[in-house]
Structure 1
Amino acid sequence: MKLSADLAGFSARIGHQFRRPELLLRAVTHSSLASATRPSNERLEFLGDRVLGLTMAEALFSADRGAAEGLLAPRFNALVRQETCADVAREVGLGDVLKLGRSEMMTGGRRKEALLGDAMEAVIAAVYLDAGFETARDMVLRLWGARIAAAAEKARDAKSALQEWAQARGMAPPVYAVLERAGSDHEPLFTIEARLENDATATAQAGSKRAAEQAAAQALLARMEAGDD
């Protein structure tokens, strides 16, 4: 089987040359156009979701080796959710090559978030079946690269990390209070308290409110993570 020009172009955009082109055709075929001889992408979507999940879990685990599970989980969820998959699908023009029934075509199926997200997962599965996990993982890391980097950068922000930790446990976001402002206008010294809904606190001092808040958040997060252990 030879890929049509539009699918060949899509294959080039995701950086994978299919040895079994029928896998890609199946990955872009929505159930509205499926038949007994032309299966839809639903089973591939199921498999692709798992390949994506393992890839993201591995990437986050490696990017932040000191993060507790409670911090990794919300980052993972943000990277694998349907909206993110749909965003990636738009970036590679997946909507343009979807095979849809007339009803879906007439109702803007090529732009629907659910269809795009599901199809993106199906494409991941198609690459996995065509060339194995390492190839599928490399493609995912390439297409999700900026998003993974952003998650890793966010991990270095102690205030964001503490907020993620709290929200993962159903708590309100932490609050910060200035306990003292000492020094001159040119060389101030702020003492900041970070407090969680469970009344756990930590304090820190720095020459700016932002720096003191980050230091207090880091101290409180370390205390909470130690308690999790």
Structure 2
Amino acid sequence: MSSIDDILITCESRIGYKFRDQLLLRRCLTHSSAAETRLDSNERLEFLGDSVLGVVICEYLFQNFPDQREGQMTQMKSWLVSRQTCARVARLLNVEELILVGRGLQSIPDSILSAVVESLIAGVYFDGGMEAARQFIHTSFREELALCRPEDAENFKSQLQEITQRDVGKTPEYIVVEETGPDHARVFCIVARVGDTVFESGCGKTKKEAEQRAARNAVEALQRPTPARDAAE
């Protein structure tokens, strides 16, 4: 048995799904740095998997939160399909060491971990159909789905705290950087700081409002691709 065969068997065991098409599974795990051409990598599968994940998550939210408005469900969906969430799922599935990458990559960034999860979703969809993909997502994302609470849909401070405690083991701090206006119409500007990282400030008529806006800026910044991550893709 070749090392590639070992990797594929191990992957099937860890994700709980056996592929009929082993070449498809191999492509799911192949980063562009290890492929002959980009078309031989998992990039196209990642593109499809992102959409399949979105449909299944929207369906889940629609069925399980019948009293929530569209805006709240959009916030919950954004959290569940984010790069950070998919990367955490990859670590929970323990597939990091199974990804086929070029020799130049010394570590696996979140962008690659996230891409592999989305590629596996597409692979299961092609190999076993929509119901198999739905079951794979529900099982793989079960911890994230369990943590998705409607009351936190627009609570960016709660979202930021969950992200930072999980990813770096630190709690955000909120620092007032500016106060302007007369006493009856004060405007507060606050930044969120996590360790040595300070995010874009948020302003509001109350400190609570400013903190929420600062937290939102931080959450959005953490969900955006960084140049370093893009270079690794």
TM-score normalised to structure 1 length: 0.64
Pair 113,37 (structure 1): closer, same or farther in 2 beyond 3 Å: closer
Higher Cα radius of gyration: 1
Deviation digits for residues 162-217 of structure 1 (CA, Å, limit 9, x no counterpart):
647xxxxxxxxxxxxxxxxxxxxxxxxxxxxxxxx89xxxxxxxxxxxxxxxxxxx
Q: Identical aligned pairs, as a percentage?
A: 35
- Unaligned runs of 5+ residues in structure 2 are 157-203, 206-233
**1:78-117: CA deviation from partner (whole Å, max 9, x where unpaired):** 000001000000111111111111111xx313xx101100
Report the counterpart of residue 108 of structure 1 in structure 2: 107
Aligned positions of 1:9-158 closer than 5 A: 9-36=10-37, 39-104=40-105, 107-109=106-108, 112-151=109-148, 154-155=149-150, 157=151
Which 5+ residue runs of structure 1 have no aligned equivalent? Answer: 165-196, 199-229
Q: For 1:99 and 1:115, how far apart are their aligned partners in 2?
A: 10
Q: Does the CA-based 8 Å contact 1:60-1:148 persist in structure 2? A: no
Question: Normalising by structure 2, what TM-score?
Answer: 0.63
Q: Is the 8 A contact 1:55 1:137 kept in 2?
A: yes
- C-alpha RMSD over aligned residues: 2.3
Alpha-carbon shift at residue 149 of structure 1 (Å): 2.0
- Aligned-partner residue type, residue 76 of structure 1: K
Contact 2:33–2:101 (CA<8 Å) still a contact in 1?
yes
Q: What SS is found at the alignment partner of 1:102? A: coil
Taking the aligned partners of 1:162 and 1:126, their CA distance within structure 2 comes to: 33
Separation in 2, partners of 1:54, 1:108: 31
2:100 counterpart SS class: coil
Runs of 4+ residues over 6 Å off in structure 1: none
**Equivalent residues of 1:26, 1:38 under 8 A apart:** no
- Mapped partners of 2:155, 2:119: distance in 1: 33
Measured at CA, do residues 102 and 150 of structure 1 come closer, stay the same or move farther in structure 2, by a change above 3 Å?
same
Q: 1:141-220 maps to which residues of 2 (within 5 A)?
A: 141-151=138-148, 154-155=149-150, 157=151, 160=152, 163=155
